[in-house]
Amino acid sequence: MLVLLLVAASLLCLPCAFAHAVPRPLARAAATSTAAAAAAHQTICGDIIDFVNNGFNIFYASDAYDCLTSVPFDPAVASRFIDYLNTTFLFQSTLAYLKNPPQGYQQPAVDFLQGLQLIQQNITAGYYTNEYAFEADLQILLYATHDAHVALTAGALSAFSFASPFAISSVSVDGKQLPKVYVTDDIIQSPGQAWQPSAIKSINGEDVTEYLTKFAALNSAGTLEPHADWNQLMTSPALDIQGSLSVFAGAATFYPGDDLAFVFENGTELDYNWLAIYDNPYPTGPLTTGGDFYNYFVLGLLPASYNETETFNPAYAPDSSTPQNSSSNSSSNSWYDDSDGAYPNPDISQQDLSTAGSGVVTGYLLHDISTAVLSLPTFQQSGWSVGNFSLAVQETINHGTAANLSRIIIDLQQNAGGTVELVFSTFRRFFPDIDPFAGSRRRSHELANVLGEILTGYWDNLTTNDAEYSIYAANEWVITDRLNAATGRNFTSWSEYFGPIAVQDDLFSLTERYNTSSEIFDEAAFNDWIPYGYTAENPAVATRPWDPENIVLLTDGLCSSACALFLEMMTQAGARTIAVGGRPTTGPMQAAGGNRGAVVYSADELDNDISFASSLNQTNSASLPQNRGDTGVFITYAGFNLRDQVRPNDTTPLQFKYEAADCRIYYTLSNLYNMSRLWRDVASATWNDPSLCVQGSTGYTSSHNTTAKAPPAPLAIQVPSLNPAIPDHVDFNLNATGDLTDGRTTPSSRSSTIVPCGSDKSCQEGAICSTISIKCSTGSLVERDLCLPPCRKTNTGDNCQGANTFCNANQQLKTKLATIKISSTNANNAFSPGVWAGFCNPTVGTPALGCPA
């Protein structure tokens, strides 16, 4: 099995390979121009891997889709996978709330376990004819939890993500008018220029807001409301400095189609193709068919010819043309270069600050407005960088107070969480006099009970001298060194904790708290770090650097997990929040729109617990599942939310409470890539002029205002349905005289002509009469009933693949002059997805086909 994948997964920096979304030479173009063409594989998957092995990782999305849909489907493997997930997700703490969400929840309800059942029914019914169709349905179900702790990296879908060649951002021209969507590069380049960027009006003929709303509902994962889903599509400096890609320009999960046509408000039209990024950095050896893809990505089997001395495939091997020395740029200790000049040079920066380095914290002293800024784009730190993070936080506080700055902005844009120790530590540096409440609880079900009984019983029996005592002190199933929130004392037994307490048609444990004043617990829970301010050895100093009303937390709604806990603690202490961005509407926005649970747990960790517990108690192990080693599909990572965060004496998980920011502002053309401007806008809206807040965005906060307004009604956004078995469009070719020919057949039979259907919609044998719309050169669409020849797939290869996707030297590869969409399908027509077919002939749709002359 792929041990390598597991070991090195945390070292990945995939986005770094794709920094500005510049497509590499396209696979198909290269194929004709190199000798490799002669040896080209018979299948699109084989071609792609060939190019990966020659250093390419960007492909046309439709090529990736053709490959994914050529990967076969094995119902038995898929059923074992569903069974494994069905057991794993018994531990997902929010199942009952997802099924029947309380008022204020902004996303649609989902019955998760029933969803698994429906997918299993589809497997059994033979509905899935390829692996993509199955995995896409499963990912849609996982995304419907809108829980960033729920994640699955497995199977064929883990091979690619989809990308627009251009990043986009949503900004208001002046902070008052509703935001519009722009190409990010236009915003970056426009300051000081005579021209103004023009906003995108439509994408693929659809109003830009409608198109992106659907795109976000489908592809944005793990956020609690459409504003946050929207912001996930957008590029910003806080994303750039993490070396990450937006969902729109690199991290989309589902095949978005082939064409990507922007029309701008100034009338300019730009046509592109969706791209796919091959995400697997590890060598696969020579995979040639969809079946090989299945073996590698779905079963985790390496081909016989796998060369184990190679660590990365050439597409991800360190690039010799750029310096391999990541510290060469870190001496600048600034995000200035990484953010196109958006971040000014900081006054304080964490050691090894750089996109490739471990440092993330910067501090800024804005003397003119008497405000300090502490930028925390993530809490994700490990090893010594945990200490360095805290050092930079403390230094920023020290410099800010020494300079008598009267207030502070804590910038949490893009902060997706990380190390909880840093949350406890950082909180205490601001509020040394407050013991923050971080209470949590989990689902009480039989499997959890067995694990807890065995592992807590085992640990209770150890003495402090046993090595295992500290090793297991923070194990999730050892409860007696954690605090009962109701009493403030350790739980005395697993059964005291287990409850079960009946709420919301489900059963839950009592509420637990970390015993942060215990060094034994801290060291076990926080990798040997002791958070600042909780123990006698590392006590807090007595004074607050700023009063709570002089602290504001800035987020873009994507604050998740550890960030959400930090926000909860800080707001409970009285700090304010301001959210930036969101959909082009007025009204409020939540500050922590990501996961607000207490702990993410992986299926791997759970399996270790189950196997350890089984080894400890032969009697009880009979009630633990014995088949956890069989996951069906090979899993790189599967995660779920083990514990809910709950407030004192509350039962509703924080995840399901509507918690608007105190104020919301828009990004603007002038502040998106100018952090000094943005922070000044934040300060003005927070402390000087509340009328700068977006209309109708204030007064909703409930955490410290009992008379707050009721949460807004959720938007009724439908997740667009996928129907991967039948493509939404197929591309055709024009021959040299401008006639339409089938682009999907083998070269020898390629010239087959598309003919109109008979009057009774009849066609020659094998062809199907379909109503298709043809895009003419004038831009107009005509509808015709045409006979489309079926495209056949064989076990040995894909004869649908047209070699005519290449263009000769004086014709433009990317020009696509006609797109045909199948608007009627019938169950038997069995259209295989069309291969990408670029039209090289500059003429288009002749009068014969009904286009205006």
Site residues (vs ligand NAG, CB under 6 A): 82-83, 86, 115-120, 122, 127, 137, 183, 186, 197-198, 264, 266, 268, 307, 309-310, 323, 325, 327-329, 332, 337, 453, 457-458, 461, 481, 485-486, 490, 515, 518, 520-521, 617, 619-620, 648-649, 699, 705, 707-709, 735-737, 739, 753
Between 294 and 521, CB nearer to ligand NAG: 521
Minimum distance of ligand NAG from residue 345's CB (angstroms): 10
Helix, coil or strand: residue 784: strand
Minimum distance of ligand NAG from residue 290's CB (angstroms): 21
Between 33 and 690, CB nearer to ligand NAG: 690
Residue 536: count of CB within 10 angstroms of its CB: 7
The per-residue b/e assignment along 189-202, b for 16 or more CB within 10 angstroms, e otherwise, is ebeeeeeebbbbbb
Minimum distance of ligand NAG from residue 71's CB (angstroms): 18
Minimum distance of ligand NAG from residue 284's CB (angstroms): 13
Minimum distance of ligand NAG from residue 397's CB (angstroms): 26
CA dihedral of residues 665, 667, 673, 675 (deg, nearest 10) = 0
Minimum distance of ligand NAG from residue 690's CB (angstroms): 10
Q: Please tell me the distance from the alpha carbon of residue 588 to that of residue 693, in angstroms, as a whole number.
A: 10
Q: Which helix (H) or strand (E) holds 569?
A: helix 562-572
Q: Please tell me the distance from the alpha carbon of residue 730 to that of residue 743, in angstroms, as a whole number.
A: 8
In the block, tokens 């403390």 appear at 394
Between 10 and 325, CB nearer to ligand NAG: 325
Per the CB < 8 A criterion, the answer to whether 444 and 503 are in contact is: no
Minimum distance of ligand NAG from residue 475's CB (angstroms): 12
Between 119 and 817, CB nearer to ligand NAG: 119
> Which of these, 588, 591, 582, 587, lies nearest to 666 by C-alpha position?
582
Between 707 and 794, CB nearer to ligand NAG: 707
Between 368 and 537, CB nearer to ligand NAG: 537
Per the CB < 8 A criterion, the answer to whether 294 and 156 are in contact is: yes
CA dihedral of residues 121, 122, 125, 126 (deg, nearest 10) = -150
Instruction: Give the distance from CA 843 to its chain's centroid.
Output: 41
Minimum distance of ligand NAG from residue 257's CB (angstroms): 19
Q: Please tell me the distance from the alpha carbon of residue 555 to that of residue 570, in angstroms, as a whole number.
A: 13
Minimum distance of ligand NAG from residue 750's CB (angstroms): 10
Between 273 and 560, CB nearer to ligand NAG: 273
Phi, psi (5° rounding) for residue 14?
A: -55, -45
268 exposure class (CB count in 10 Å sphere: 0-12, 13-18, 19+): exposed
Q: Please tell me the distance from the alpha carbon of residue 24 to that of residue 18, in angstroms, as a whole number.
A: 10
Between 264 and 282, CB nearer to ligand NAG: 264
Question: In this structure, what token pair is assigned to residue 752?
Answer: 């087959």
Minimum distance of ligand NAG from residue 368's CB (angstroms): 26
Q: Which residue is nearest to ligand NAG (CB)?
A: 699
Secondary structure string (H, E, C) spanning 735-792: CCCCCEEECCCCHHHCCCECEECCCCCCCCCCCEEEEEEEECCCCCEEEEEEEECCCC
Minimum distance of ligand NAG from residue 298's CB (angstroms): 18
Q: Please tell me the distance from the alpha carbon of residue 681 to that of residue 666, in angstroms, as a whole number.
A: 10
Minimum distance of ligand NAG from residue 209's CB (angstroms): 17
Between 186 and 731, CB nearer to ligand NAG: 186
Between 211 and 398, CB nearer to ligand NAG: 211
Between 380 and 515, CB nearer to ligand NAG: 515
Helix, coil or strand: residue 697: coil
Question: In this structure, what token pair is assigned to residue 827?
Answer: 């169950």
Q: Please tell me the distance from the alpha carbon of residue 366 to that of residue 51, in angstroms, as a whole number.
A: 50
Between 383 and 648, CB nearer to ligand NAG: 648
Minimum distance of ligand NAG from residue 311's CB (angstroms): 9
CA distances from 509 to 242, 433, 465 (A): 37, 30, 30
In the block, tokens 């997902």 appear at 92
Between 128 and 601, CB nearer to ligand NAG: 128
Phi, psi (5° rounding) for residue 248?
A: -75, -40
Per the CB < 8 A criterion, the answer to whether 535 and 517 are in contact is: yes
DSSP 23: P
Q: Which residues, 6 or more positions from 650, have their beta carbon under 8 angstroms from its beta carbon?
A: none
Helix, coil or strand: residue 443: strand
Report which residue type is found at 282.
Y
Between 403 and 692, CB nearer to ligand NAG: 692
Minimum distance of ligand NAG from residue 525's CB (angstroms): 9
Per the CB < 8 A criterion, the answer to whether 333 and 364 are in contact is: no
